[in-house]
Amino acid sequence: PVGEFEEKVAIVTGAASGIGKATVELLHERGARIVAVSRGANVETLAAPGIVPFVGDVTEEATSKGAIATAIREFGKPDIVVNNAGIIINKRVIDMTLDEWNNVLAVNATGAFLFSREAMKVMTPAKSGAIVNVGSYACFQAFPTIAAYAASKGALAQLTRALSLEAIGHGIRVNAVGSGDVATNILSASGDSEEALRQHGEKSPIRRAAEPREMAEVIAFLASPRASYMVGAVVMADGGMSVA
């Protein structure tokens, strides 16, 4: 819906590419003003009237504090936080270093904790807000080589549920989307590619990977008043992957 997010202020993490970038574009098209957070300098290419890029690592406390302060300074109190930044490592547990394990948990779970905590501090007095976490079918399912990722997304699903119970009494809704395969560069560090995700998506019941925009639509819905009765939900948008 055009203008749905008019007067709304959103923070999107992992905004430089993939699902995060599509979410920034969609919320912006519908009227939101956005602080777009990512660790790479290429998030700066998103700068536009109503979009302020913020370069930072979501695992550092200073990033969440800085991003929220930037939102307040530039646009006003944030109404929406999308915890989308995420990484994956494809390795068996027996081959995984402690740093690799810690890094996946830090970005995918702790990053969402930090941004949610800082957002709650300003949303609670305002008595309104929506937090949307970007999960995965790995919130619930597993296969070999994704132990760290599945552990982090399982943690994110449970953060979503527990925080939603703390938040709803203050008028703040916390939900998550369980994404299926989306053809992004998330696997590039493992030497894999968008093509690998496309091929994996072809094995899902819908027989294709998703476009980033298809996840952005679900994220926008959960962030909007149209989802006013949704609290602590992990909504699967995975082409049927989790039901087959």
**197 is an interface residue for ligand NAD by CB under 6 A:** yes
Least separation in angstroms between residue 21's CB and ligand NAD is 7
**19 is an interface residue for ligand NAD by CB under 6 A:** yes
DSSP assignment of the chain: -TTTTTT-EEEEESTTSHHHHHHHHHHHHTT-EEEEEESSGGGGGG-BTTEEEEE--TTSHHHHHHHHHHHHHHT-S-SEEEE---------GGG--HHHHHHHHIIIIIHHHHHHHHHHHHHHHHT-EEEEEEEEGGGT---TT-HHHHHHHHHHHHHHHHHHHHHGGGTEEEEEEEE--B-SSTTGGGT--HHHHHHHHTTSTTSSPBPHHHHHHHHHHHHSGGGTT--S-EEEESTTTTT-
Which one of residues 9, 10, 58, 234 is an interface residue with ligand NAD (CB under 6 A)? 58
Segment interacting with ligand NAD (CB under 6 A) among 84-92, 93-101, 116-124, 219-227: 84-92
Least separation in angstroms between residue 77's CB and ligand NAD is 22
Which one of residues 11, 107, 151, 155 is an interface residue with ligand NAD (CB under 6 A)? 107
Least separation in angstroms between residue 164's CB and ligand NAD is 18
Toward ligand NAD, which CB reaches closer, 167 or 177?
Answer: 177
**38 is an interface residue for ligand NAD by CB under 6 A:** yes
Toward ligand NAD, which CB reaches closer, 65 or 170?
Answer: 65
Residue that the structure tokens 């007067």 belong to:
7
The torsion region of residue 237 among left (phi > 0), alpha (psi -120 to 50) and beta comes to beta
Among residues 28, 38, 39, the alpha carbon closest in space to that of 2 is found at 28
**179 is an interface residue for ligand NAD by CB under 6 A:** yes
Under rule CB under 6 A, how many of the chain's residues touch ligand NAD? 27
**20 is an interface residue for ligand NAD by CB under 6 A:** yes
- Active-site residue 149, yes or no? yes
**185 is an interface residue for ligand NAD by CB under 6 A:** yes
**39 is an interface residue for ligand NAD by CB under 6 A:** yes
**86 is an interface residue for ligand NAD by CB under 6 A:** yes
Residue 205 CB neighbour total at 10 angstroms: 12
Segment interacting with ligand NAD (CB under 6 A) among 11-19, 64-72, 113-121, 166-174: 11-19
Point out the residues that are catalytic.
149
Query: Which residues sit at the interface with ligand NAD, rule CB under 6 A?
Result: 13-14, 16-20, 38-40, 57-59, 84-87, 107, 134, 136, 179, 181-182, 184-186, 197
